[in-house]
Structure 1
């Protein structure tokens, strides 16, 4: 096989293989990024290709044997190759190293991530594919955020630049820098999308730029430690910053007054985040607490002690007990839910916690991984590994030297003398979707998305004994549509509600929506918004939605903070279906134009034939005369 690899190195090893029994094909992957495809049993070479410079850790055929999937762990690359046409069916690559930040787009359709490899990637939420990668940063990306319009994405990096990327042309249209180089650790954009702020971890300042001109407007000084988090109020000209100097500052950025007030924290501030309605902000501190403040009065309104909820995963290098480790846990990333009633928190742990703010209680803990090959997953270290000289898991064999070191960009992380690298489980960023139906987390294992799925959960609302599927269908047959809809919403089974909504005649929708009690309006709108994404009856669902909004728009406007997530879900799914229909309509329009053009070409060709025929007959008449 070595002759087929076309390499001079003697260190190439076979790492993976798969055999397709029906087609008698053998595919093999090697440590130099090459793979070979042979026909068995004669062992005839069909293909010899290289897709990467690193190990191909896994290869497999699909059921028909037409496609070959290849995976490279070190590059985070996944390739599907069609060997007959010699073309790529799929080519995806994640971040080479850990992801440092994550954020949702305003419509909830996209996710942007930044990694230690200096790349900014955009992912499609619906299919999970990365469709564009920006590589302009020269060092790790520490923060990313979308503008409020969703037309641009801003990223901050440790290379001392803040870059703005256009989401239409996919180019870096603005680069923001400082007079003296600074490493940016956090980022915020005002609601208008015109002002960009970034906090520094080495100069302890906050820099303010104009996105349109790229000019540095102001430098906010006052912190005496690294700025760890900044956030803009969604509806006021207020910027809140948290720092390692145990203070949280509230700034009037646009009035030019600078710092309005400094709030003393119980420990170092790690991150800050505003509630979606702008009436509260939260700060995570090093002692494992989440503190809540009123931005107008700067008065603390509540606190949550969460260090014990994060767990005490033991790392191989830890020299203290699990009980002592719990005292060092803290939240490094926070995010409010779309309705502002709950808050997500995570940090150097395998758990993500969600708390109710009003009651200050833990609602649920999400475990992001059970992968015991990661450091910090196990709560206890086996006593068999503990000797008088320390943890035996840290004793490396000399043979590991050829397999280990990961090439990290910029600088080597961890123990400089170590010949191996064991990733540590942690959650670097959490972000809630504006629709309120999903949230994502950037972890050591990759991007994790948690979503609501009511089709698998029986969650009744004000259920009574006489509300059954049979009674609901009887009301529908009796043409008591209002009773059928309300009973279906109270039973809260997706299949029953879908059946009732789709069987009500179009002419009765307006009258039904007008008489529907307000308590059911939000539930019906939420149901319609979710079903619009997958159901084929687009006109029917749009009729329901527009009629409900026309009849109950004023009521919904009064309760705008609580229904904002619902309206974002509607906007997201309507935009999605509009794009799908636009593609079909454009395709049909171009096809009709092509058919009409072909008709004109044929008509013109027949005219040319007639003209040439008449010219020939005229010439013959002249010759005869």
Structure 2
């Protein structure tokens, strides 16, 4: 099994902090999630996380007007120039300070960055390769406090900068004679946003206290005059002019000096305040936190700290409507190009909404877990992932789209364990509220609730392979409870452990339950023999996690001393052990006075999972690393660093002596902690500096699972739900290759119609495009003959290729014929190698099931359209043939029928499939 796993997607978290952006076509939302950036495709209903990461949480994202480039700046001032076309980093840059906002000019030639109390304008990178992509053009001074927002005019001649000193500054992007800078006051609080009117220098400014000022400029954008050059540039120009032009210029200069100073000031740009409006006249709303303005439709959207947002039409300030999306602060607002969709980001809830204000409907409504995720489980076909969190919610995610499609909120306390049944349509969860619940994915309801005779807290849950027996381990009573799924009754209570039960796992083949406990034992319970204890495995330390191999012939246990031990459950014999202390490599916290090397002594692996083929084991714990070990050789195969985000705690390796003073650690002093860390309100304090405390979340891996298909694995971490998948695009992986296997010989075999030899050589060379060419060259009526002549060793490889081809190819029927013939001919032989072939078959089932869901919806839609058309035509056929179509209703009905048939989900030409 190959381990070319790469980060593919981030689920479980949709928004953290920073500004939202719509792409230039208006169909996708770019959302910063921690130190990563996720693109939500609203048209195709998919989410994809860019394969890049910053050193700290993303502070702001600037998008170029053509949508090709993006500048991503983190809290430390590090910037990444990213190509959204090829999804790669083009340039690294450091702004040497905390950046608040970045904005490209509408013509795409320059961009402005607000840093501290200054604004810096850079030349935007072009399409040509450059040594330095960011070249500083000018630095603008003026505000006395930190700058907060930027907005450009449509012609890129000027830009406005808002500040915390309650002033707004208008700067010229060029050296204008009549506009160098202009300061606007009139506010009594921090400037939140400023917007230019379309094709004008008129300006709108909004402050945090809910005030809107409308400013009118007496000069149109065309009235800006370039300043005449001075110094050595002027001397060069004067040397090139004729003597007559020089005399004329001298006369003009004399006249200008003789003119009064008042006449000089007539050409300067002036602003005057037309009106001032207030959002919170009645005192119902609190601070204004975010705003967005659409210049073409004059639509202003404002968000408040109470979760309320307003839609106004400017400059008349007419209220369109006012709604509330939550009770948390709205952190960011964005409008798409047409002005129809509004994106809202709430950092307190981790919520991302896209609202269509004209129809008053949601385009996208996603929310991650409020607290850290604790456990996850894959469905048997690998299509869905269920996650449980400390916030008591259970969410189900689609691995293809990356969206959560159902959330269960029945638990009143933190969820400690989740699992799927063998059918894949039932989810069983355990919680600290003393209940174990079963949820139905057909009707999306909680149809079973299992409880114990006396209140207890459940720490883990497991379901047997038949789906009829549900077990849960207790944290306080040290017992294992067994229920029946059909009746919901308590069958038995298994006693014997002398410490909290930390993990449960059923044997996938036999009805044997393994329970791990803090009493340094793992007990095996036989469900078919009155639930008696068959074996007790003694350990050297507390057991934290236990899991069976997919074939049930081996057991892996993670203990508190950072060891992973392997056992034979039939004979209760230890077969091997792995020392993982050095591979764990935990990081040092900010308040620790020791290095990471010494702090690792108390850390251990807390979650285990076997790979789909059972040859390797995946381990993770209180660390930023996930390790894959080879079970038989007991060696480390690969190590994955799940995060490089320094905004999280326990990421550093060495002790930073510069933060150690005679008064203590500087990390204890909360400087600007409202931006860097999460806020926890303290009880009993209403307001003031001591009303909240701040902390850095600690990096950890709480749960790991391999997909049943074997092509990806997922981990619940502090960052979110990370999915790693096999990168097979650029992987050259030949199989039993020799010098006689070449593409020329493979194509020659195809021309000779020797299809079996061509397929064997193509799979030995293992190039995807060549494999596709060879398989699709086989006539469909000869597929059965060719598939029967394939050796058994190549059948598994053909099935894996067919499964991956189903996701991208349109030749569904042809590949289905291949699949059917292979399974019918080689079905009996594959049963003897079920352990190795099962991941390929499950991957195949996942791909076919996805197409089944899509095609079934399409067929149902077309059937309804045909039935409607037949019903309308039957009504018309009841009339006499000589009777004309005189009524308007009949004509409208026939028009509606034609419109419905033409607009149906067809094959692209308006025809029904």
TM-score, structure 1 length as denominator? Answer: 0.91
Check whether the contact 1:112–1:144 (CA below 8 A) recurs between aligned residues: yes
Check whether the contact 1:184–1:201 (CA below 8 A) recurs between aligned residues: yes
**Which position in structure 2 is the counterpart of 1:516?**
790
Q: Deviations over 1:572-599 (max 9, x none)?
A: 1122212222222222222211111111
Q: 1:528 pairs with 799, 802, 815, which one? A: 802
**Which position in structure 1 is the counterpart of 2:196?**
none
Structure 1, 355-364 or 45-54: larger mean CA deviation? 45-54
Q: 2:830 pairs with 542, 546, 556, which one? A: 556
CA gap of 1:336–1:523, structure 2 versus 1, over 3 A, is: same
Correspondence 1:5-154 to 2 at 5 A: 8=283, 11-14=286-289, 16-18=290-292, 27-37=301-311, 46=320, 48-154=322-428
**Which position in structure 1 is the counterpart of 2:554?**
280
**Structure holding more helix per residue:** 1
CA gap of 1:381–1:84, structure 2 versus 1, over 3 A, is: farther
CA gap of 1:473–1:309, structure 2 versus 1, over 3 A, is: same
**Which position in structure 2 is the counterpart of 1:570?**
844
Check whether the contact 2:806–2:847 (CA below 8 A) recurs between aligned residues: yes
Gapped regions of structure 1 (runs ≥ 5): 410-415, 611-625
Check whether the contact 2:681–2:691 (CA below 8 A) recurs between aligned residues: no
Q: State the 1:271 CA deviation.
A: 0.9
Q: 1:4 pairs with 259, 270, 279, which one? A: 279
* Structure 1 CA distance for aligned equivalents of residues 733 and 744 of structure 2: 18
Correspondence 1:454-533 to 2 at 5 A: 454-533=728-807
SS of the residue aligned with 2:443? coil
CA gap of 1:550–1:397, structure 2 versus 1, over 3 A, is: closer
**Which position in structure 2 is the counterpart of 1:377?**
651
CA gap of 1:241–1:544, structure 2 versus 1, over 3 A, is: same
SS of the residue aligned with 1:454? coil
CA gap of 1:30–1:478, structure 2 versus 1, over 3 A, is: farther
Correspondence 1:209-228 to 2 at 5 A: 209-228=483-502
* Structure 2 CA distance for aligned equivalents of residues 273 and 8 of structure 1: 58
Q: Deviations over 1:477-516 (max 9, x none)?
A: 3322222222221222222211221222112222211222
* Structure 2 CA distance for aligned equivalents of residues 229 and 28 of structure 1: 49
* Structure 2 CA distance for aligned equivalents of residues 444 and 39 of structure 1: 42
CA gap of 1:70–1:160, structure 2 versus 1, over 3 A, is: same
RMSD of aligned C-alpha atoms? 2.6
Aligned residues: 603
Q: State the 1:100 CA deviation.
A: 0.8
- 1:205 is the counterpart of 2:459: no
Structure 1, 551-560 or 110-119: larger mean CA deviation? 551-560
**Which position in structure 2 is the counterpart of 1:171?**
445
* Structure 1 CA distance for aligned equivalents of residues 595 and 517 of structure 2: 29
Q: Deviations over 1:18-60 (max 9, x none)?
A: 5556666554443222334555677665554331211222322
**Which position in structure 1 is the counterpart of 2:718?**
444
Q: 2:629 pairs with 355, 359, 377, which one? A: 355
CA gap of 1:331–1:608, structure 2 versus 1, over 3 A, is: farther
CA gap of 1:369–1:478, structure 2 versus 1, over 3 A, is: same
Q: State the 1:372 CA deviation.
A: 1.1
Q: Deviations over 1:452-472 (max 9, x none)?
A: 232232222222334333433
CA gap of 1:536–1:402, structure 2 versus 1, over 3 A, is: closer
Q: State the 1:609 CA deviation.
A: 6.7
Larger radius of gyration: 2
CA gap of 1:387–1:282, structure 2 versus 1, over 3 A, is: same
Q: State the 1:136 CA deviation.
A: 0.6
CA gap of 1:17–1:496, structure 2 versus 1, over 3 A, is: farther
Q: 2:430 pairs with 149, 156, 166, which one? A: 156
- 1:230 is the counterpart of 2:504: yes
* Structure 2 CA distance for aligned equivalents of residues 97 and 12 of structure 1: 26
Check whether the contact 2:458–2:473 (CA below 8 A) recurs between aligned residues: yes
Q: State the 1:400 CA deviation.
A: 5.8
**Which position in structure 2 is the counterpart of 1:241?**
515
Check whether the contact 1:454–1:494 (CA below 8 A) recurs between aligned residues: no
Q: State the 1:308 CA deviation.
A: 1.4
Q: 1:538 pairs with 808, 812, 817, which one? A: 812
Check whether the contact 1:455–1:493 (CA below 8 A) recurs between aligned residues: no
**Which position in structure 1 is the counterpart of 2:544?**
270
SS of the residue aligned with 2:575? strand
Check whether the contact 1:117–1:408 (CA below 8 A) recurs between aligned residues: no
Q: State the 1:277 CA deviation.
A: 0.4
* Structure 1 CA distance for aligned equivalents of residues 595 and 415 of structure 2: 34
* Structure 1 CA distance for aligned equivalents of residues 623 and 321 of structure 2: 45
Correspondence 1:408-447 to 2 at 5 A: 419-447=693-721
* Structure 1 CA distance for aligned equivalents of residues 694 and 617 of structure 2: 37
Q: State the 1:420 CA deviation.
A: 1.3
* Structure 1 CA distance for aligned equivalents of residues 293 and 742 of structure 2: 54
**Which position in structure 2 is the counterpart of 1:390?**
664
* Structure 2 CA distance for aligned equivalents of residues 212 and 245 of structure 1: 33
Check whether the contact 2:562–2:580 (CA below 8 A) recurs between aligned residues: yes
Q: Deviations over 1:243-292 (max 9, x none)?
A: 11111111123311522222211111001111110001111000001111
* Structure 2 CA distance for aligned equivalents of residues 244 and 588 of structure 1: 59
Gapped regions of structure 2 (runs ≥ 5): 1-205, 211-277, 684-689, 885-913
SS of the residue aligned with 1:510? helix
Q: State the 1:151 CA deviation.
A: 2.1
- 1:588 is the counterpart of 2:868: no
**Which position in structure 2 is the counterpart of 1:599?**
873
Q: Deviations over 1:159-217 (max 9, x none)?
A: 00001111111111111111111100011111111111100111111111111111111
Q: State the 1:129 CA deviation.
A: 0.9
Structure 1, 169-178 or 52-61: larger mean CA deviation? 52-61
CA gap of 1:371–1:608, structure 2 versus 1, over 3 A, is: farther
Q: State the 1:135 CA deviation.
A: 0.7
SS of the residue aligned with 2:769? helix
* Structure 1 CA distance for aligned equivalents of residues 337 and 635 of structure 2: 49
**Which position in structure 1 is the counterpart of 2:131?**
none
CA gap of 1:572–1:453, structure 2 versus 1, over 3 A, is: same
* Structure 2 CA distance for aligned equivalents of residues 524 and 434 of structure 1: 18
Check whether the contact 1:26–1:37 (CA below 8 A) recurs between aligned residues: yes
CA gap of 1:430–1:172, structure 2 versus 1, over 3 A, is: same
* Structure 2 CA distance for aligned equivalents of residues 460 and 417 of structure 1: 63
* Structure 1 CA distance for aligned equivalents of residues 359 and 675 of structure 2: 40
Q: Deviations over 1:366-419 (max 9, x none)?
A: 11112111111222242211223432112236996999533799xxxxxx9971
Check whether the contact 1:5–1:34 (CA below 8 A) recurs between aligned residues: no
Structure 1, 130-139 or 386-395: larger mean CA deviation? 386-395
CA gap of 1:32–1:357, structure 2 versus 1, over 3 A, is: same
* Structure 2 CA distance for aligned equivalents of residues 418 and 550 of structure 1: 66
SS of the residue aligned with 1:126? coil
CA gap of 1:406–1:466, structure 2 versus 1, over 3 A, is: farther
Check whether the contact 2:677–2:697 (CA below 8 A) recurs between aligned residues: no
Q: Deviations over 1:324-378 (max 9, x none)?
A: 1121221111111111111111111111111111111111111111211111122
* Structure 2 CA distance for aligned equivalents of residues 516 and 34 of structure 1: 65
Q: State the 1:91 CA deviation.
A: 0.7
- 1:406 is the counterpart of 2:662: no
CA gap of 1:334–1:50, structure 2 versus 1, over 3 A, is: same
Check whether the contact 1:31–1:54 (CA below 8 A) recurs between aligned residues: yes
Check whether the contact 1:5–1:48 (CA below 8 A) recurs between aligned residues: no
TM-score, structure 2 length as denominator? Answer: 0.63
SS of the residue aligned with 2:380? coil
